[in-house]
Structure 1
Amino acid sequence: MNDYLVKALAFDGQIRAYAVRSTETVSEAQKRHHTWPIASAALGRTLSAGAMMGAMLKGDAKLTIKIEGGGPIGPILVDSNTKGEVRGYVTNPHIHFENNDQGKLNVGKAVGRDGMLSVVKDLGMRDFFSGQVPLISGELGEDFTYYFASSEQVPSSVGVGVLVNPDNSILAAGGFIIQLMPDTDDQTISKIEESLKNISPVSSLIEKGLTPEELLEEVLGKGNVQFLETLPVKFSCNCSKDRFATAIIGLGKKEIEDMIDEDGQAEVHCHFCNEYYLFTKEELTELHKEAQ
């Protein structure tokens, strides 16, 4: 099954909801960055949240999520857009701890709690929207829940999960975001709160084969959900050798001369997708001619 997300309303428009299956997307990130299980879980949870948050935007808007918790995993950075395209990386992909008290990957310890979750939205206008909140657990689902409530003033529940195989490959990944509209009645809120208390971990539900639609029905109840739209989701990076060539030209003639004199070539690296691009001496010479 290919990854995709679904947008929905529930309880006669009182609830806005999103759910995503991101197993292949997180798997692509794991392969590209060679992440160990805890890093896979932290990056995968952020990619899943990022895909759904990107789907909340309009037009050609995009956003960047940065998580800096002070933990050994280092900063996590994820980009997403309205087309279901996400990319991201974790600074230290080879972090390992024993499982936590619940027998699960200790993401909170790796991410840390002494720092911030920040979101910058590029809405295609002159100004950017940015919001940030302190991390409260480092487990990320709770942190995104707090972000929506505090920074965007939208009471929400965010569930994100990743299951990792013994060989470090990704078994299942996905998530949901449930948001209350201003006119949500107390009875509906109570129903959702009770459901969220009893629901199985989201990654377990995806491992069982639940689709994003079924995931939302698990949370909100069958018959209560009106599905609006589906969107394919994938790991996608917009880097290219041409883009890096333009960046090198922008450095100016002196910098390019130094590259040629010192190394005779240049290798550039995209942190988001872990691709490397080699520029030969001949290619640098051509770029030198184009530089101001």
Structure 2
Amino acid sequence: MGNLYRAISADGSAFAEVLDAKDIVSEIERIHKTSAVITAGLGRLTIAASLMGYMLKGDEDSITLRVDGGGPAGQLVAVADSRGNVKSCVNNPVVEIPLNAQGKLDVGGAVGTDGTLSVVKDMGLKEPYVGVIPLVSGEIAEDIASYYATSEQIPTVCSLGVLVNPDLTVKSAGGFLVQLLPFADEKCIDIIEKNVAKIRPVSAMLDEGITPEEIANMLLDGLEPNVLDTAAPVYKCDCSRERTERVLISIGKDELKSIADEGKDTAVSCHFCGKEYVFTPDEIRKLMGE
């Protein structure tokens, strides 16, 4: 499970949210059998979704992040609930491209930069909130910060990182969000900027055993941070046979009849966890109402 820690400055002008997500991203690699650059890219998006989901208020609220960058990875999707529990998927889990100019995994090259980040918040209202922005870099963290600045007008610093071992297992993974609240003064802004400038990559700090609490205190150093709350989010898929039946019904009677008439069992796999649901021709006909 993940280790999520939230802190707020003593005057309530800034807050930080930090997540150690090694276990969550390890589950992504196990389920989707991703190549290193996809583990990093989908891992970053999944960490962001967990952090953003945990900021939602209602028990049934959820958030969906979707990146369409035009790169070889195809579409990346991550869905989180208000407890930070999260699931994710990608069109192409195995992409092999050269390292970038800094000698690091080229997430932007795999994701692409010619496209959009969409954020859908389902908060139990008539219509979900939808925000769509052009991708800044395809590296995910900059795109998340741009979303907050553009769509929600909230000054935000976002850092996301995944270190992958040579055997493709996850060495470390995590991220943080720092946000200024509406009444933050110039002094607070200056302190946050200096703290962020000094901070090292989040994946490197977590790999060294530095805790989310310690990272949050570094980010809010000089602002007398107080703990808000903690959580232990997990990679969690909520698929079910009933939900799969609804998906099949949605494709229409003509298509279902064609499937049933083939006389073979039909297997439907969940994109998020890989679980397979098998339907016999008779079960398909029942879905048609026959």
Task: Give your verdict on TM over 0.5.
Answer: yes
Kindly report which structure 2 residues correspond to 1:186-225, keeping only aligned pairs within 5 A, or say none.
Answer: 186-221=186-221, 224-225=224-225
Distance 2:3 2:170 in 1: 16
CA deviations 1:242-268 (Å, max 9, x no partner) are 321243345555433322211422111
Q: Which residue of structure 1 lines up, in the alignment, with residue 48 of structure 2? A: 49
Equivalences for 1:42-81 in 2 at 5 Å?
Answer: 42-59=41-58, 60-81=60-81
Residue 152 (structure 2) pairs with residue 152 (structure 1): yes
- The amino acid across from 2:52 in the alignment is M
1:18-167 pair list within 5 angstroms? 18-59=17-58, 60-167=60-167
Offset at 1:282?
A: 4.3
Deviation of 1:129 after TM superposition, in Å, equals 0.7
TM-score of the aligned structures, taking structure 2 as reference length: 0.94
For 1:138 and 1:164, locate their aligned partners in 2 and report how far apart those are by CA, in whole Å.
19
Give structure 1 stretches of 5+ with no counterpart: none
The one-character-per-residue Cα deviations of 1:195-234 (angstroms, maximum 9, x if unpaired) are 2122110001111112211111122227721111112211
Residues in 2 aligned to 1:280 and 1:222: alpha-carbon distance in whole angstroms: 64
AA aligned to 1:119 is: V
1:283 Cα deviation after fit:
3.3
Helix, strand or coil for the counterpart of 2:175?
strand
Structure 2 counterparts to residues 218-233 of structure 1, below 5 A: 218-221=218-221, 224-233=224-233
What CA deviation, in whole Å up to 9, does each residue of 1:3-32 have, x standing for no partner?
121222124211022111111111111111
Structure 1 position 284, deviation (Å): 3.1
Q: In 2, distance between residues paired with 1:56 and 1:285?
A: 43
Say whether 1:248 aligns with 2:248: yes
Instruction: Give the Cα separation in 1 of the matches to 2:201 and 2:21.
Output: 15
Cα RMSD after superposing both structures: 1.7
Secondary structure of the residue aligned to 2:139 is: coil
Q: Distance in 1 between matches of 2:30 and 2:286?
A: 34
Q: Which residue of 1 aligns with 2:15?
A: 16
1:77 shift after superposition: 0.6
Instruction: Tell me if structure 2 keeps the 8 A contact 1:3–1:22.
Output: yes
213-222 vs 113-122, which moves further: 213-222
Contact 2:75/2:91 (CA < 8 Å) preserved in 1? yes
Structure 2: distance between partners of 1:78 and 1:198? 30
Instruction: Give me the TM-score of the superposition, normalised by structure 1.
Output: 0.93
Assess, with a 3 A threshold, how the Cα gap between structure 1 residues 114 and 255 changes in structure 2: closer, same or farther.
Answer: closer
Once residues 209 and 222 of structure 1 are traced to their aligned partners in structure 2, the CA distance between those partners, rounded to angstroms, is: 23
In structure 2, C-alpha distance between the alignment counterparts of 1:74 and 1:127, rounded to whole Å: 27
1:52-110, Cα deviation, whole Å (9 max, x unpaired): 10011111111111111111111111111102210111211111222212221111111
Secondary structure of 2:154's aligned partner: coil
Q: Which runs of 5+ in 2 are unaligned?
A: none
What letter is aligned with 2:133? V
Counterpart contact for 1:11–1:188, Cα < 8 Å: no
What is the CA–CA distance in structure 2 between the aligned matches of 1:9 and 1:88, rounded to whole Å? Answer: 29
Find runs of 4+ consecutive structure 1 residues off by over 6 angstroms: none
* Equivalence for 1:236: 236
How many positions carry a matched residue from both structures?
Answer: 289
Letter aligned with residue 239 of structure 1: C
C-alpha distance in 2 between matches for 1:4 and 1:202: 14
- 269-278 or 132-141, which deviates more: 269-278
String of CA shifts for 1:30-54, please: whole Å, max 9, x gaps.
Answer: 1111100100011010111100100
Of all paired residues, the percent bearing the same amino acid is 40
Read off the aligned partner of 1:274 and give its amino acid letter: G
